């Protein structure tokens, strides 16, 4: 595990560190920054939980499919329903997976709300697969945090030093 230049996200003494603060992730808080305070256990819990929810959701969809079959709605309606759930699941997986690497557009996300609700199994499956590798969204948050930290250090280094000690030619 590589060391990161920043100290702990929240110091034990209660002081607020200067500079940018890491954005917390759902279920992980700021443990993703240094992989501390139960990060590994949270990743295991996120993986197991999302897989269990995916399996339970598939069972619910199976019961709904059986209900359509029992209701004798016909082959066309049954196949159309299965096709809609399959397409929405694939689209929801793709959208959720993409959201782990870049900030989603709020307008697009709002427009896709119904599709994502129908394809919820895809979102759960994407969460499961991503949590096997890292905390979902960790890579994006780490890149943003490190960029903010670099900007802060650059600003702080420009302002550091006593202006009285500058050479006479540099004073304005």
pTM of the model: 0.79
158: alpha, beta or left, given left = phi > 0 and alpha = psi -120 to 50? alpha
How confident is the model over 11-30, as pLDDT tens digits?
555 555 678 999 999 999 99
Interatomic CA distance for residues 142 and 5, integer angstroms:
12
- The whole-number average pLDDT for the span 138-142 is 94
Q: Of 110, 103, 100, 117, nearest to 28 (Cα)?
A: 100
Question: Tell me, what's the pLDDT at 19?
Answer: 85
* 56-70, 77-91, 144-158: segment of lowest average pLDDT: 144-158
Under 8 Å between Cβ of 85 and 57: no
Interatomic CA distance for residues 22 and 93, integer angstroms:
26
Q: Where are the alpha helices (DSSP H) in the chain?
A: 39-70, 75-99, 106-111, 113-118, 120-133, 138-159
Interatomic CA distance for residues 39 and 34, integer angstroms:
9
Helix (H, G, I), strand (E, B) or coil at 25: strand
pLDDT beyond 90 at 166: no
pLDDT beyond 60 at 130: yes
- The whole-number average pLDDT for the span 31-46 is 94
Q: Of 54, 53, 139, 61, nearest to 97 (Cα)?
A: 139
Percent of the chain beyond pLDDT 90? 73
């Amino acid at each position: 595990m590589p060391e990161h230049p920043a100290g702990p996200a929240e110091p034990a003494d209660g002081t607020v560190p200067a500079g940018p603060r890491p954005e917390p992730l759902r279920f992980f808080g700021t443990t993703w920054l240094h992989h501390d305070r139960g990060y590994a256990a949270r990743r295991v819990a996120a993986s197991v939980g999302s897989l269990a929810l995916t399996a339970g959701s598939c069972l619910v969809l199976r019961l709904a499919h059986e209900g359509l079959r029992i209701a004798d709605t016909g082959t066309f309606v049954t196949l159309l329903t299965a096709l809609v759930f399959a397409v929405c699941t694939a689209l929801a997986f793709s959208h959720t997976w993409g959201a782990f690497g870049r900030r989603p557009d709020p307008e697009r996300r709002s427009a896709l709300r119904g599709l994502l609700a129908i394809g919820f199994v895809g979102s759960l499956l994407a969460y499961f697969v991503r949590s096997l590798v890292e905390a979902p969204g960790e890579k994006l948050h780490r890149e943003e945090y490190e960029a903010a930290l670099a900007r802060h250090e650059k600003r702080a280094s420009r302002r550091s030093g006593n202006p009285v000690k500058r050479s006479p030619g540099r004073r304005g």
